[in-house]
Amino acid sequence: MKTTIVFAHPWHGSFNKAILDTVTKKLDAKSKDYQIIDLNKDNFNPVLEEKELALYSKGTTTDKLVLTYQEVLKETSELVFIFPIWWYDIPAILKGFIDKVMLKNFSYVETKYGLKGLLTHINKTTVITTSEYPTWYLKYLSGNPIKRVFVNKTLKGNGLKNIKWLNSEYTTSGKIEKRKKFLHKVESLF
């Protein structure tokens, strides 16, 4: 079993990439096995097309990359998401990843009481985000789209547990010292 990092940022000069590098450097130092799913670099198509929607309720797909990602997730014991918060939400490419990869009978089953998550073999999930918003604002005034929806509904609904969310606020406008301090905090998680 290994750590899988889902990276959802198109620019490899971004602070998100610095976060990714910090995580992989720490995993390398501990000789931990990991794999990176770089959605943009993989040219992942986040659009759920008509032919895929026809198979959606059956829990199948025609997208070979989705099948590859599912195989990776089957061998994952720790999952890490790294992405920016845009418009108070996850990037479209990550939403498409959730829509297309987290299929019925792979990551959940429907029961008469709601969804039952199947990704229970993943013991730890870390969500690392960047934003221009202060974290307190995201948590309390904006309805907390990341924690309330992405973490507590989407991820937990697929069986993920032990989920920690860490946000770098004022990422673009803040001071470099604050970003360095955040990278040290990220490093301490692994």
Per DSSP, which regions of the chain are E strands?
2-7, 34-38, 76-84, 108-111, 114-117, 124-130, 163-168
109 sits in the region (left: phi over 0; alpha: psi -120 to 50; else beta) called beta
**pLDDT for residue 47:** 96
The CATH number linked to 84 is 3.40.50.360
Q: Residue 141: which domain range? A: 2-188
Strands 2-7 and 76-84: parallel
Query: Domain total for the chain?
Result: 1
6 Cβ contact partners less than 8 Å away, ≥ 6 residues apart: 37, 39, 79, 80, 81, 82, 83, 94, 97
For the chain, residues with pLDDT lower than 70 are none
167 Cβ contact partners less than 8 Å away, ≥ 6 residues apart: 85, 128, 129, 130, 131, 135, 138, 146
**Cα 11–Cα 16–Cα 20 angle in degrees, nearest 5:** 110
